[in-house]
Structure 1
Amino acid sequence: MKSTKSRHKSYAYKRRIDFKFVVGDHVFVKIAPMKGVMRFGTKDKLSPRFIGLFEISERVGALAYKVALPLNLAGVHNVFNISILRNYMSNLSHILNCEPLQLTQNLTYEEKPMQILGRQEDRLHNKVIKIVKVKWLNHLEEKAT
């Protein structure tokens, strides 16, 4: 019996950190991408893993916290397990350009072109294909397509 207990202890994940949040802490919420569902403008593997910067409003039980969600996420339940939350460590050197997204009921937003960054023509044997590089409203210039 003792050998099995010691074997179970050796299987335990030694780098695990037990998080404890305090009311007023800011956290990110982990979202799981679903196949074929567009969330926040991207599909499948390219969708963001964490969203928001939300404040913890109260502790519910040993492993659950109630998070203050904005009105556009009113359809989402506001109590999350500790495994879904990630702590936000504030750093004054981080400059966050946070513009609020106008989300629809199904948690998507409309893509709007902002600026044309470049034009190019590809010539085939008997065709000319025009290519335009566009900067989108809610994306950085590096994400232009």
Structure 2
Amino acid sequence: MLKVFPRKGVIRFRKRGKFNPRYIGPFKILEQISPVAYKLELPEELSNVHSTFHISNLNKCLSDKSLVIPMKKLRLDDKLNFVEELVEIKDPEVKQLKQSRISIIKVR
């Protein structure tokens, strides 16, 4: 399984992307480059990502078919970060403080 990062650039959605999957895959190991680097067989959706990874970015996969997440449901950029899209703005609100106003917007 390959580790993906639940953040988009510098901006974080939620604290740690609580409900985002941490690992995608499983992928077949093509060869061991060094004791800490492995080359994986990646699908077409990840063709822009380099196929060699450090062992810290990999996780051993148990062959449970229910845990496999299809790649078509996930949108990843070239640095393996999730691409998140705005669905709708639900409840815009302005909070009035003593000398300033803060816009509070709920986004789905």
Normalised by the length of structure 2, the TM-score is 0.52
Structure 2 residue corresponding to 1:73, chosen from 43, 46, 55: 46
C-alpha spacing 1:66/1:107, structure 2 compared with 1 (3 Å) = closer
Answer whether contact 1:30 1:51 (CA < 8 A) is retained: yes
% of aligned pairs identical? 20
C-alpha spacing 1:82/1:125, structure 2 compared with 1 (3 Å) = closer
- Over the aligned positions, Cα root-mean-square deviation in angstroms equals 4.3
Matches within 5 A, 1:1-145: 27-29=1-3, 40-43=7-10, 51-60=23-32, 63=35, 64-89=37-62, 90=64, 92=66, 99-101=73-75, 103=77, 111-125=84-98, 129-135=102-108
Q: Report the number of matched residues.
A: 99
Gaps of 5+ in 1: 1-26, 32-38, 136-145
- Look up the equivalent residue of 2:60 and give its one-letter code: N
Using the alignment, how far apart are the partners of 2:100 and 2:76 within structure 1? 40
Using the alignment, how far apart are the partners of 2:68 and 2:47 within structure 1? 28
Gaps of 5+ in 2: none
Normalised by the length of structure 1, the TM-score is 0.42
Greater length-normalized contact order (CA 8 Å, ≥ 6 residues apart): 2
